[in-house]
């Protein structure tokens, strides 16, 4: 995919935002697509493939939202970006008959991302199309575990008590330094969502919790 991007836009600066999204987890992918890209400058191009249905007939999309571009399959991945910053444009990309049928990331999405990065107007990439599929995600849950064992939830501030995996997490703090050792606490994480952490320890291990687990608000 990077070769295809550089072939189409040799001066592109490539950033791997995340390879931590659990396989096939579109909700977590939608979250990361927003949280992990919102600090990039206007005009930046974000390519995403989290795709249980590779090769199926869902649309292939390029959209503009919040002044940034997003390219990927129409399976709900754009939901949170659009909820948060609004949709400006959506065009449908053509499948590439000569490309591999198993890797649209390389054969369809990467060339489209390269074209956008090189300054090609989005409306040149395909016909305008209906807004992307939106997924409903109203149930509080753990979206994933970060590298420190913190549990990232799909909940917005303010920080508040919750229960996960039969553990009550009632402490809140604004910094790790404020928290007490060995006591899990809720805080507003760097991506703008509530997280559960433990100072100098792993919340996932202490609570036995992992991505996908439901959360009960107290």
- Which residues contact a copy of itself by CB under 8 A? 2-4, 6-7, 10-15, 23-24, 37-41, 44, 52-56, 100-103, 106, 148, 174-178, 187-190, 200
Residue 64's nearest CA partner among 85, 48, 35 is 85
Question: For a copy of itself, which is the closer residue by CB, 38 or 163?
Answer: 38
Question: For a copy of itself, which is the closer residue by CB, 17 or 120?
Answer: 17
CB of 4 to a copy of itself, least distance (A): 6
Question: For a copy of itself, which is the closer residue by CB, 13 or 217?
Answer: 13
CB of 166 to a copy of itself, least distance (A): 26
Residue 181's nearest CA partner among 206, 163, 158 is 206
Q: Which two tokens stand for residue 86?
A: 């609004």
Q: Give dist(CA 111, CA 83) in Å, integer.
A: 26
Question: For a copy of itself, which is the closer residue by CB, 123 or 200?
Answer: 200
CB of 175 to a copy of itself, least distance (A): 3
Q: Which two tokens stand for residue 152?
A: 């990232």
Q: Give dist(CA 181, CA 198) in Å, integer.
A: 7
CB of 119 to a copy of itself, least distance (A): 14
Task: Identify whether the C-beta of residue 49 lies closer than 8 Å to the C-beta of residue 72.
Answer: yes
């Amino acid at each position: 995919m990077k070769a295809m991007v550089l072939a189409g836009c040799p001066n592109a600066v490539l950033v791997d935002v995340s390879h931590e999204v659990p396989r096939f987890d579109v909700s977590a992918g939608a979250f990361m697509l927003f949280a992990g890209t919102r600090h990039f400058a206007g005009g930046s191009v974000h390519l995403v493939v989290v795709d249980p249905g590779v090769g199926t007939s869902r649309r292939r999309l390029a959209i503009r939202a919040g002044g940034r571009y997003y390219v990927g399959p129409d399976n709900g991945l754009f939901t949170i970006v659009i909820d948060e910053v609004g949709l400006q444009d959506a065009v449908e990309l053509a499948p590439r008959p000569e490309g591999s049928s198993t890797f649209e990331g390389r054969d369809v999405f990467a060339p489209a991302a390269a074209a956008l990065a090189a300054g090609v107007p989005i409306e040149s990439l395909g016909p305008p199309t209906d807004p992307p599929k939106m997924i409903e995600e109203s149930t509080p849950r753990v979206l994933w575990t970060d590298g420190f064992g913190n549990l990232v939830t799909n909940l917005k501030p303010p920080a508040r008590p919750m229960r996960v995996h039969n553990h009550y997490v009632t402490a809140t703090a604004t910094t790790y330094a404020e928290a007490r050792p060995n006591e899990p606490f809720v805080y507003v994480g760097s991506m703008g969502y509530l997280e559960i952490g433990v100072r100098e320890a792993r919340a996932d291990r202490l609570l036995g919790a992992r991505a996908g687990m439901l959360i009960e608000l107290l």
